[in-house]
Structure 1
Amino acid sequence: MNTNNLTQLFKKLAVITGVIGISAFATVPVRAENYGDMKMSQMSGNRNLVEVAVASNSFNTLVKAVQAAGLTDTLANGSYTVFAPTDQAFQDSLPQGAVAFLLKPENKDLLRQVLSYHVTKGRVTSNQLQTGTVDMLYGGVAVNVTPDRVIVNNASVTNANIAASNGVIHAVNRVLLPAQLRQQIASQLAMQ
């Protein structure tokens, strides 16, 4: 099987997985999270994606993960869109001990894969998102856009269009993980 066929197969699997995840959460009401008194215009200005994430005080776990993965300079300088799990998302959607496990220096490559599954190149605002697949730096995610919400795989966007000087952040209520990474993390946690 050639590389192109594998790529197509992985994209189809990502869409199928996303549709299954979307259908499981389609009836769950989504409530926008309040990110304190900080308004989007206050957060953007000349601040890059990392600085905006730090200033929001809702992405502390994500910021630690970006630093541990050595991706701070990358996200501070390139043009990206980040589907950013909130601190609550990390707590609620990963198995106990997974964050500490991923932050260990020996798991840096795995952490980079997890984070790269949340980032796509360029600035993509919520009104530019369409139902279908979005290619991320690591794989593709299924997006379902309705008049009421945006769902990415099995996560809902809870705060869209947080502007930065070099991109945009969409807060999500779950950590996005392709099945293979989820299985790899679970099996390595079980061996500890």
Structure 2
Amino acid sequence: MLKKNLLSIAVVTAAMSLAACNDKEAATDPVEADTTTEEVVAEPAVGTAPEAEAEPMADPMAETDGMATQTIAEVAAGNENLTILTAALKAAGLDTMLMEDTKYTVFAPTDDAFAPVLEKLGVTKEELLANTELLKKVLPYHVVPMEVKAADIPYGTDIETANGATISISDANVITDATGGTANITGTDIMATNGVVHTIDAVLMPE
């Protein structure tokens, strides 16, 4: 009987020792942590439009072709330095010609350009405007029946005007008329729907 009890005690003791060993291994065996992380992509909020790329701003200084909205007659009338020319064209009945669809180039004398003419003729502005015969002879001499921008001026050649007489222009932008008088081109490429205006500092004389 004693032998049987000792055997039972030995079996129980062995089982307890084995269980203790297993618990120790479980406590000391670290579990490898999962270090893998997933990239989180933020979903756009409902109703929020995606950010648009910024469009380049227009250059305010950029040239715009084909924007003319006025005829040559209207351009001249709207220029504060061409009041005498405007009045002279109207007095001579030539303003209607410069409202046509036909392309013209006008070498337009400024108001200051008329001062030497008034002095030479010994007349006032009003008297000059009343001399329609002279105006009809002189004014068409400032008109070329085609559009000639500054870049297209044929320097050194004779250019026929609307009254049949010719002018010549040097590469220094100096116009020589039939009498040998000269005028400087002071402004270029004032565009109109029916051509172009260049301002000059003297009145051209056909003879």
Secondary structure at 1:117's aligned position in 2? helix
Corresponding position of 2:96: 73
Decide which of 124, 130, 141 is 2:148's aligned counterpart. 124
Q: Distance in 2 between matches of 1:129 and 1:118?
A: 14
Q: 1:74 deviation in Å? A: 0.8
Q: Which amino acid aligns with 1:47?
A: Q
Query: Is 1:133 aligned to residue 161 of structure 2?
Result: no
Q: 1:98 deviation in Å? A: 5.9
Q: Which amino acid aligns with 2:184?
A: S
Whether contact under 8 Å (1:141, 1:152) holds in the other structure is no
Gaps spanning 5+ residues in structure 1: where? 1-39, 180-192
Secondary structure at 1:100's aligned position in 2? helix
Residue deviations 1:57-82 (CA, integer Å, cap 9, x gap): 11000000000001111111132100
Which has the bigger relative contact order, CA under 8 A and spacing at least 6?
A: 1
Residue deviations 1:136-163 (CA, integer Å, cap 9, x gap): 01133332332xx311110010001111
Corresponding position of 1:45: 68
Q: Specify which structure has the higher proportion of helix.
A: 1
Whether contact under 8 Å (2:160, 2:167) holds in the other structure is no
Distance 1:111 1:93, change over 3 A: closer
Corresponding position of 2:173: 150
After TM superposition, the runs of 4+ consecutive aligned structure 1 residues lying more than 6 A away are none
Corresponding position of 1:162: 190
Corresponding position of 1:57: 80
Q: 1:176 deviation in Å? A: 0.2
Q: Which amino acid aligns with 1:160?
A: T
Q: Between Structure 1 and Structure 2, how many residues are aligned?
A: 134
Corresponding position of 2:206: 178
Q: Distance in 1 between matches of 2:148 and 2:92?
A: 24
Whether contact under 8 Å (1:117, 1:137) holds in the other structure is yes
Q: Distance in 1 between matches of 2:94 and 2:167?
A: 24
Q: Which protein is bigger by CA-based radius of gyration? A: 2
Q: Which amino acid aligns with 1:126?
A: A
| Alignment root-mean-square deviation, CA | 1.9
Q: TM-score, normalised by structure 2?
A: 0.60
Q: Distance in 2 between matches of 1:98 and 1:177?
A: 18
Secondary structure at 1:56's aligned position in 2? coil
Whether contact under 8 Å (1:83, 1:172) holds in the other structure is yes
